[in-house]
Amino acid sequence: MSDQMTIPADLLPHDGRFGSGPSKVSSFQIEALRAAERTLLGTSHRQAPVRGVVRDVQEMLASFFSLPDGYEVVLGNGGSSLMWDAAAYSLVERRAQHCVQGEFGSKFAAATLGAPHLDPSSVRQADAGSLTLPELEDGVDVYAWAHNETSTGVISPVARVRGADDALMVVDGTSAAGGTELDVSQTDLYYFAPQKSFASDGGLWFALMSPAAIARIERIAASGRYIPAILSLEDAVVNSRQNQTLNTPAVATLVMMRAQLQWLLDQGGMAFAASRTADSASRLYSWAESSPVARPFVSQVAYRSPVVGTVDFDASVDTAALRSILRDNGVVDVDPYRKLGRNQIRVGMFPAVDPEDVSRLTASVDWVLAHLEP
């Protein structure tokens, strides 16, 4: 019976994509692909036209993030996940400290814990839906945490550990980058991928690297440690300075990302992006707070993510049926992170998402719940 339910068109979001990555791609990005059909797509990434796109993306990221002096925009293939292994080989000198708020933080911790050349990592574990902050610790040369933990919808402060001297601050910005405020000077290596706020496809990673991070990378590369080529951040730095990647990138991904960056910058850059996601988030959380059957999963208001919102439902609500009806009506990917195992919806609210559509999503949820009632 559930698949017969038709949500009234005047309630439905104009665009029903609320995924946390891949996330909504806008039609102007597809037009950018069309415009690139003969000049970029299907042409060599070693030649000037594609390198020009890489350079544009690097420059636009530098502008979007108001990159401090000496920082560089480095990129490579493999997505954000590759950075975890790359950091274990190319960045951590002896020992890392990880803050784990959820799945993504724990995967990075697993990468350094498994690296045979490193001392056992220090892992600070938070309960799902809460957070833990990095803390000064002897012998730690990399402090790692996620700016936004996408599996739980928790946003963390990004601030240097005081007294940490030469240690590097390595922050997973995958789902936060481009959708919220950031002071890059508080980080040494802030990495992300294009399929969240940059509304493109996955497969690449980007990192904003401080001079200290680059110096560390060069020192470790010169030390004789075995580093698989694909995990060499030194190779990535060298290639990025020439607007290239070690191996072939997805050209279409770069073209779509450039179009999104252009749009973000035209609209007002980081301040625009942050205010738009904050608008979406306030609509989602205030609806959840006033709902008799739902509530924000993250209880601390300050930790609630503006880009990935998680909403818990009473056990009496069949959210699997809810999500399936939404999907039948073209409203997709509001599923909770699979391993979190909660009676929940999770809503991607990256800048491409129209805040009005978040309101329409909540109205659609209310409508379905009213009609699911026996």
For the CB of residue 128, give the shortest distance to ligand PLP in the complex, in Å: 14
Helix (H, G, I), strand (E, B) or coil at 256: helix
Q: Which of 264, 267, 367 is nearest to 325 (CA)?
A: 367
Q: Does 187 bind ligand PLP (CB under 6 A)?
A: no
Amino acid, single-letter form, for residue 6:
T
Q: Does 193 bind ligand PLP (CB under 6 A)?
A: yes
DSSP 35-61: HTTTTTTTS-TTSHHHHHHHHHHHHHH
For the CB of residue 84, give the shortest distance to ligand PLP in the complex, in Å: 8
Query: Of the two residues 2 and 130, which places its CB atom closer to ligand PLP in the complex?
Result: 130
Q: Identify the residue among 104, 145, 190, 337 touching ligand PLP (CB under 6 A).
A: 104
Q: Identify the residue among 174, 197, 260, 364 touching ligand PLP (CB under 6 A).
A: 174
Instruction: Show the tokens assigned to 291.
Output: 């709902």
For the CB of residue 80, give the shortest distance to ligand PLP in the complex, in Å: 4
For the CB of residue 2, give the shortest distance to ligand PLP in the complex, in Å: 30
Q: Does 81 bind ligand PLP (CB under 6 A)?
A: yes
Sheet containing 344-348, strands listed edge to edge, beginning at the edge strand earlier in sequence? 294-296, 308-313, 344-348
What phi-psi label fits residue 345: left (phi over 0), alpha (psi between -120 and 50 degrees) or beta?
beta
Q: What is the 3-state secondary structure (H, E, C) of 348-373?
A: ECCCCCCHHHHHHHHHHHHHHHHHHC
Query: Of the two residues 101 and 243, which places its CB atom closer to ligand PLP in the complex?
Result: 101
CA distance 368 to 325: 8
Q: Does 146 bind ligand PLP (CB under 6 A)?
A: yes
Q: Does 335 bind ligand PLP (CB under 6 A)?
A: no
For the CB of residue 16, give the shortest distance to ligand PLP in the complex, in Å: 20
CA distance 174 to 318: 31
For the CB of residue 61, give the shortest distance to ligand PLP in the complex, in Å: 16
Where does this chain touch ligand PLP (CB under 6 A) — which range of 168-176, 241-249, 251-259, 322-330? 168-176
For the CB of residue 332, give the shortest distance to ligand PLP in the complex, in Å: 17
Q: Does 155 bind ligand PLP (CB under 6 A)?
A: no
Q: Does 202 bind ligand PLP (CB under 6 A)?
A: yes
Where does this chain touch ligand PLP (CB under 6 A) — which range of 36-44, 75-83, 156-164, 281-289? 75-83
CA distance 219 to 307: 36
Q: Does 172 bind ligand PLP (CB under 6 A)?
A: yes
Query: Of the two residues 98 and 360, which places its CB atom closer to ligand PLP in the complex?
Result: 98
Q: Does 340 bind ligand PLP (CB under 6 A)?
A: no
Query: Of the two residues 255 and 325, which places its CB atom closer to ligand PLP in the complex?
Result: 255
Q: Does 144 bind ligand PLP (CB under 6 A)?
A: no
Where does this chain touch ligand PLP (CB under 6 A) — which range of 28-36, 78-86, 212-220, 296-304? 78-86
CB 54 within 8 Å of CB 254: yes
Instruction: Show the tokens assigned to 84.
Output: 């975890």
CB 29 within 8 Å of CB 253: no
Residue number of the CB atom closest to ligand PLP: 79
Query: Of the two residues 58 and 174, which places its CB atom closer to ligand PLP in the complex?
Result: 174
Cβ-defined contacts of 334-338 (< 8 Å, 24+): 334/18, 334/361, 336/310, 337/20, 337/102, 337/103, 337/150, 337/151, 337/152
Q: Does 249 bind ligand PLP (CB under 6 A)?
A: no
Residues 6-65 that bind ligand PLP (CB under 6 A): 21
Alpha helices (runs of H) in 223-250, residue ranges in sequence order: 233-241
What separation, in Å, do the N-terminal and C-terminal C-alpha atoms of the chain show? Answer: 12
Where does this chain touch ligand PLP (CB under 6 A) — which range of 136-144, 169-177, 217-225, 326-334? 169-177
Sheet containing 168-172, strands listed edge to edge, beginning at the edge strand earlier in sequence? 72-77, 204-209, 189-192, 168-172, 142-146, 96-100, 122-125
* Residues engaged in binding ligand PLP (CB under 6 A): 21, 79-81, 104, 146, 150, 172, 174-175, 193, 202
